A and B are shown apart, each in its own frame.
Chain A
Amino acid sequence: SERTRSRQHVNLMKLVYGKSTDISTTSSNEAHDTSDEENDGGDFFTPVGRINKNDSEVVDGENANSEDCSKHFKISNDLDIESIRDRFVTGDWSK
């Protein structure tokens, strides 16, 4: 139904962006000035209202230093070949 659909949507948004994706006023994660000898000739725009990192850290746990790796697949030969037959041009399209 439309209702469950919108609920799932909220859940995915929440899973990714955490609870406080609406304007969060937390200052814990704001870039703070770090004195530096280098002259960069200008200030950089730092937006306020960012994700509350404390929320996402609950999800992340101690993962901040886990491996930086994009490769992702699952090897399991218990896959039911019939269940994906329709993803192939040779599948049965009479259904």
Chain B
Amino acid sequence: MGKTKYKELRGSQILRQNLVLATLSRTPVRIHDIRPNTISPGLRPYEKSLLDLLEKICDDCFIDINETGTILKYKPGIVMGGKNLEHDCGLTRSIGYFLEPLILLALFGSKPLSIKLKGITNDSKDPSVDTFQSTTLPMLKRFGVNPDDVNLKIESRGVPPLGGGEVILTIPTVKSFSAVSWTDEGMVKRIRGVSFSTRVSSQFEHAMITATRGVFNRLLPDVHIGTDHRKGPRAGNSPGFGISLVAETTTDCLMSVDTAVSYGYAEETTELEEEKQELPNPEDVGEGMAYALLNDIGKGGVVDSTHQGLLFLLCALCPNDVSKVRVGEITPYGIETLRNIYDFLKVMFHIEPDPSNQTVLLKCVGYDLKNFSMKHF
């Protein structure tokens, strides 16, 4: 009988990346000290749901959680992918939380993935499904993924607390990524976006859009924000509204922000609070998001702050060629990602500030991840 050598990790801060990197590098991990000293220690329902999702798309993976949920043992299997899969992401974290790791794993699967994900499509914590459509998925094209094979369809929307959203994600497999030299962010040529409303008047959307446009039009005329007013079953189970904005540059870089407002997650509100709680004013939401996007544009870089982690992961998984990218300030999550990449793949980035415009240039030689399980048709 062989012994499994587990890589020892601590805490849950970057659990998703730990699981992705463990799977792609075939490294068994033992993560301990998962919220040991909190009122409810251990893995959260959404983390357990993510592990269930991993079991669904992988063959032969082994997951063991101790009684208190503070220790997780994970031995990766082979990502199989497959069609007509379905997963309920639950109501404690949005679908965006699951999409981030799922996309990377699916690309290195044996077969293309097509999966229906149920739960919350829009909230304030994770990138929304709109951001995945407008910004995240198109990013993959830079690394050699055929954009025609990538798709995310929003069947119904759902906001907290009761969700009811449904999306269908289609991801192809790749043999490997291709390295990038991606340092020219260009200039913003237009702003696009979409607002949505579920179980409230579409007036909320119009108020948000007007306020958003008011900010952007001081800088450029080409601003178009669509609306997506949902009624009936396609509006999910809870009232809410939100907006997702994306700036497109002359070199086809995409920078995005999004948010949603609703009555919040069930765990976060007591019944007493719920009675007096009022949704924020849509004008403030629209204006706030416009400024959030402008702040991010001001920092520079070829991706927005939210996508730094994914950008670094994509570069690190490239073949043994040099990838070079530019970002604005490195975010705390970006820093954690770089450390995590080094920890699993031994890929270290060369990080250098560009004083001419206050940005940061990063270079690395990829880990050269190859998809050996890919089926050829």
> Do the two chains belong together in a single complex?
yes
Spell out A's residues near B (CB within 8 Å): 5, 8-9, 12-13, 15-17, 21, 29, 31-44, 46-47, 50-51, 56, 63-77, 79, 81, 83-91
| Cβ contact within 8 Å between A81 and B12 | no
State A42–B353 Cα separation when bound (angstroms). Answer: 43
Decide if B288 touches A88 in the complex (CB within 8 Å). no
| A74 to B292 Cα, complex, angstroms | 5
Max chain B C-beta neighbours (<10 A), residue from A42, A68, A90: A68
Task: Please tell me which one of the listed residues B8, B100, B346, B350 contacts residue A70 in the complex, with CB atoms under 8 A apart.
Answer: B100
Q: Which residues in B have their C-beta under 8 angstroms from that of A76?
A: 291, 295
Check A31 against B360 for contact (C-beta < 8 Å): no
Contact assessment for A17 and B220 in the assembled complex, using a CB-CB cutoff below 8 Å: no
Stretch of B78-86, B197-205, B305-313 lying at the A interface:
B305-313
**Contact (A31, B6) CB under 8 Å given A51-B342, A65-B13:** yes
Residues of B within 8 A of A (CB): 1-8, 10-16, 26-28, 30, 33-35, 38, 62, 73, 75, 96-97, 100, 125-127, 187-189, 218-221, 250, 257, 287-289, 291-298, 300, 304-310, 330-333, 335, 338-339, 342-343, 346, 348-353, 355, 360
Asked whether A65 lies within 8 Å of B28 as measured between CB atoms, the reply is no
Collect the chain B residues with CB atoms within 8 Å of residue A39's CB. 1-2
> CB within 8 A of A31: which of B7, B26, B97?
B7
Q: A73-B295, A74-B296 are in contact. List 17 more A-B contacts (CB 8 A).
A: A13-B351, A17-B338, A29-B8, A31-B7, A34-B4, A34-B5, A39-B1, A50-B343, A65-B38, A68-B12, A70-B126, A72-B308, A73-B257, A77-B288, A84-B298, A88-B220, A90-B219
How far is A10 from B297 in the complex, measured between Cα atoms in Å? 26
Question: Are A72 and B305 interface neighbours, CB within 8 A?
Answer: yes
Could you tell me if A9 and B294 are in contact, using CB atoms closer than 8 angstroms?
A: no
Contact indicator B35/A65 (Cβ below 8 Å): yes
| Cα distance A65–B2 in the bound complex, in angstroms | 32
Least CB distance from A12 to B in Å reads: 4
| A44 touching B5 in the complex, CB below 8 Å, given contacts A73-B306, A90-B219 | yes
Inter-chain CA distance A73–B331, complex, in Å, is 10
Neighbour of A64 across the interface among B33, B293, B360, CB < 8 A: B33
Q: Which A residue's beta carbon lies closest to that of B346?
A: A47
A78 to B342, CA, bound (A): 37
- A65–B43 Cα distance when bound, in Å, is 10
Q: How far is the CB of B61 from chain A (nearest CB, A)?
A: 11
A-B contact pairs, 27 of them (CB 8 A): A12-B330, A17-B338, A17-B339, A38-B4, A38-B62, A40-B2, A51-B339, A64-B13, A64-B33, A68-B15, A69-B125, A70-B100, A70-B306, A71-B96, A71-B127, A72-B332, A73-B257, A73-B296, A73-B304, A75-B288, A79-B291, A81-B294, A84-B219, A87-B298, A87-B300, A89-B187, A90-B219
B248 to chain A, nearest CB (A): 10
* Bound-complex Cα distance A11 to B62 (A): 40
Bound form: Cα–Cα A89–B10 in Å:
46
B10–A64 CB distance below 8 A: yes
- Shortest distance between the CB of B73 and any CB in chain A (Å): 8
- With both beta carbons as reference points, the residue of chain B lying nearest to A36 in the complex is identified as B4
Bound Cα distance from A88 to B189, whole angstroms:
6
Check if A84 sits within 8 Å of B297, measured CB to CB.
yes
State A37–B297 Cα separation when bound (angstroms): 52
Evaluate contact between B7 and A65: CB separation under 8 angstroms: no
Chain B residues near A79: list those with CB within 8 A: 291, 294-295, 298
B residues within 8 A CB of A44? 4-5, 26-28
Most chain A Cβ neighbours within 10 Å, of B331, B335, B351: B351
Residue of A nearest to B126 (CB): A71
| Shortest distance between the CB of A81 and any CB in chain B (Å) | 5
Across the interface, name the chain B residue whose C-beta is closest to A73.
Answer: B292
* B219 and A81 contact, CB distance less than 8 A: yes
Bound complex: CA A51 to CA B292 (Å):
35
Q: A40-B4, A88-B187 are in contact. Are A9 and B351 (CB under 8 A)?
A: yes
Asked if A36 and B3 sit within 8 Å, CB to CB, the answer is yes
CB distance from B171 to the nearest CB of A (A): 18
Q: Shortest Cβ distance from A72 into chain B, in angstroms?
A: 4
Q: Are B352 and A12 in contact (CB under 8 A)?
A: yes
Residues of chain B within 8 A (CB-CB) of A29 are 8
Q: How far is the CB of A14 from chain B (nearest CB, A)?
A: 10
For the complex of A and B, 6 pairs with smallest distance between CB atoms: A64-B11, A72-B305, A73-B292, A84-B298, A36-B4, A75-B288
